[in-house]
Structure 1
């Protein structure tokens, strides 16, 4: 997550967790690079416009928010908003025998019951593939407690870091949903000396050398993956400013590039944050915001502009509480550009519980922060090429809509959902669109929420499943005109007959 400069005393604890997937493939083929462009197996340009979903790197050992919603429902919404890539943080501790996933509502996630952390990643990766999304695995921390400046600690040495990466590389080999390895999140220096360096030649602290060791080990296990290497914060002898965000400074790569056994698998990654995260000096520069493109060129953009290698903006985010934050985000998106040739990015974060940035979701874990989404939306490339029905097909459905009572300015109505398929609908969620000028104020027999004109009615906790042939009457009260009929009743991507 958020990173401070090496000279900052306060340490921000990060946290972004995501899940991975096993054998269900998304669009066929694996990615590689050509100059500064990521391309697919046919050589066509591709671009990540994605989101971070954290939690698996924390002591929950699973993506956050599963206490509130089903993981499929989350991924449906991400894909529907246009995010084509999921960056999924994890910690090495996730794979320890005693690391039991927790804080999951199993009524909403019944197929996660009894699974370990990697198996939950498998479920998420599988369904992400169904949605046509790609997954980038992010080794966020060695343990679940806090971010580390180096890629190893005494409890989780470099050998364990590499062993877990090669395990995951083999585990997901042949599955094009998983596109690669973000080797270590936000390497950085330590105030007063120590921590990570770039190009210093010390095997214990030189992040560039460590990235080569781990990256080549991963490619030996799985030659199809991209290897994502983040910057550090401070690099001497590369001009001013010499310090940036944790993970955000790639100036050292000009003199000391990362050397991989397969050079066309290298992607550099930078992190970038707003002044509400930390008041970097460039935010108070009288030239702000016209100073930002030159700053970004200095730290990471030169790699793309000089056709050296692709760059991924692996984390960037803001609460938008400071007026400069919105300016910064708009400028960063313009700098990233549009279309497949633009700079790849994965926004931080999906989660609303990111303390210094908030999320795309509001605190209810369901509705969308439209102030943020509206800035990102023009730059998103939606997922495509999903592999078809999910692990638990939604089958078929029918809806009978009826106005029960009406008065001047309001009404009550019932939408009766019937499972007309042959499979049980687990943790169902019925969506539809209300006519303009109508607003639902309350609901019953389901958790009913309206965002804009779209409504989602989710299964109640006391009756999460709907058997074949069974029905449920979803009631609601609304303001507006009762004579206009709702439309678009559907379970996920499956339209219901009406």
Structure 2
């Protein structure tokens, strides 16, 4: 600044003057003056920047001419300008922060659930003691057959409750077509082990492919049962069933899967009782009629065996990605159940829920109705991963009240309202559980004990058929004789003896 005049090049600004005060004495309303010719007073500069013909709106006052603002006010105004200029960018930033926070929370929660669980003192004491002796009063030999249903209970011919305390013995449903362990122990010894564990019944799965193919079994799979060498798979299944019933153990036969393999994955060909609508996509194809004929071929062998007490019509019906309507399954279950009851009206007919046997809520409005009264038993399956995709999440992460609410909605209402029996035909957990596994198990058994439920543990087997992989859910050691005494047997023994 020199001589009292601002020495800056720049735009012209308009300075308002009255007619009498025109610089040259001429009458005018406004003049356009170059900025460098204005007097260098702050008031004049501020006035010049504030009044104009519209061009000056883009020109901010010089720093020394602006009123002082606090740091927080300047940040707030700059943030407002940033949002005004790019609201989408700001939205994406906030959304990204929320997603990152959610991922971090889920990661920490899953890490906590997957940590190894340390058994409580009571479970540790149980594991160091001999198993309690099975109670004769729970075994089926003390009941008058045939069984039937009365309200929520399974009862004998005299009306005495028979509570299913079952274990699954799989293998005939898998690719080797043979119940597990026959290469290690004679079938009668395995049956005695099951009885010693306290179970009074066995759920025995088979695959439809076993019935249609019925291959001669590999003799290495029955090395401990030399009398079974050279027999076909259907003959071996019958021999295993007879060994169980000779030991005084009731048997419920289960149609587990269409193609002989480990169940249950995402393959739609095995997600229901019939798959002919998939055309050539399925390796093993069957219609509903063929499914029912397979059932008749299997059960024809057991018509004269009174301790084969029931038929579990199909394992974990789910349809294509869990889309099986309950009404469609109920219709098919009635057709198959009635056909089997014409063979022998004494059998109990077990109908599992949809959504991998989790959901029996459809029976509220559309109950299954059989031609023979008092023969229907519903069945649910409950695992730690059950409930995935729901708002409450998997059962491994649920609180007790959330877990119970789902159980009541899905199937326990049938018991609480004394409508029909529900057999929790599959449940299970590993010998060395994670925190999530143990959490699920504790909630489940707290509830099962509270409602005095019928149950079926998955599974007895020490190893899986494919690749001889270790079965982490097993209740026996590799010798198929030594019980695994842990938190699972503690809870099951308590309910058996209740």
Say yes or no: TM over 0.5: yes
Task: Measure how far apart 1:363 and its partner are.
Answer: 4.7
**What secondary structure is seen at the aligned counterpart in 2 of 1:41?**
coil
CA distance in 2, matches of 1:28, 1:168: 25
Q: Which residue is 1:260 aligned to? A: 370
Q: Which residue is 2:313 aligned to? A: 183
CA distance in 1, matches of 2:170, 2:397: 36
TM-score, normalised relative to structure 2: 0.62
CA distance in 1, matches of 2:297, 2:395: 46
Q: Which residue is 1:328 aligned to? A: 440
CA distance in 2, matches of 1:99, 1:131: 27
Is the 2:217–2:229 Cα contact (8 Å) retained in structure 1? no
| 1:350 correspondence with 2:460 | yes
| 1:216 correspondence with 2:216 | no
Is the 2:395–2:440 Cα contact (8 Å) retained in structure 1? no
Match among 147, 153, 160 for residue 290 of structure 2:
160
Call closer, same or farther: CA 1:100–1:290 in 2, change over 3 Å. same
CA distance in 1, matches of 2:223, 2:338: 42
Render the CA deviation track for 1:191-223: whole Å, top value 9, x for unaligned: 3xx752112xxxxxx111110110111111111
Call closer, same or farther: CA 1:252–1:72 in 2, change over 3 Å. same
CA distance in 1, matches of 2:300, 2:192: 27
Is the 1:289–1:327 Cα contact (8 Å) retained in structure 2? no
Is the 1:282–1:288 Cα contact (8 Å) retained in structure 2? no
User: Root-mean-square deviation (CA), in Å?
Assistant: 2.7
Call closer, same or farther: CA 1:285–1:336 in 2, change over 3 Å. closer
Render the CA deviation track for 1:428-480: whole Å, top value 9, x for unaligned: xxxxxxxxxxxxxxxxxxxxxxxxxxxxxxxxxxxxxxxxxxxxxxxxxxxxx
| 1:249 correspondence with 2:359 | yes
Call closer, same or farther: CA 1:188–1:173 in 2, change over 3 Å. same
Task: Measure how far apart 1:376 and its partner are.
Answer: 1.6
Q: Which residue is 1:142 aligned to? A: 258
Call closer, same or farther: CA 1:356–1:253 in 2, change over 3 Å. farther
| 1:169 correspondence with 2:299 | yes
CA distance in 1, matches of 2:386, 2:366: 32
**What secondary structure is seen at the aligned counterpart in 1 of 2:357?**
coil
Match among 345, 348, 369 for residue 226 of structure 1:
348
Is the 2:184–2:223 Cα contact (8 Å) retained in structure 1? no
Q: Which moved more, 1:126-135 or 1:47-56?
A: 126-135
Task: Measure how far apart 1:168 and its partner are.
Answer: 3.2
Structure with the larger strand share: 1
Is the 1:266–1:309 Cα contact (8 Å) retained in structure 2? yes
Is the 1:60–1:103 Cα contact (8 Å) retained in structure 2? no
Match among 471, 475, 485 for residue 360 of structure 1:
475
CA distance in 2, matches of 1:140, 1:284: 24
Is the 2:359–2:411 Cα contact (8 Å) retained in structure 1? yes
Task: Measure how far apart 1:379 and its partner are.
Answer: 1.6
Segments of structure 2 that go 5 or more residues without pairing to the other structure are: 1-139, 265-269, 277-284, 465-469
Task: Measure how far apart 1:28 and its partner are.
Answer: 5.3
Is the 1:125–1:177 Cα contact (8 Å) retained in structure 2? no
Q: How many residues align?
A: 336
Task: Measure how far apart 1:76 and its partner are.
Answer: 0.9
Alignment of 1:5-154 (within 5 A): 29-102=145-218, 104-145=220-261, 147=264, 148-154=270-276
Segments of structure 1 that go 5 or more residues without pairing to the other structure are: 1-24, 200-205, 234-245, 383-498
Larger Rg: 2
Q: Which residue is 1:308 aligned to? A: 419
Structure with the larger helix share: 2
CA distance in 1, matches of 2:177, 2:376: 29
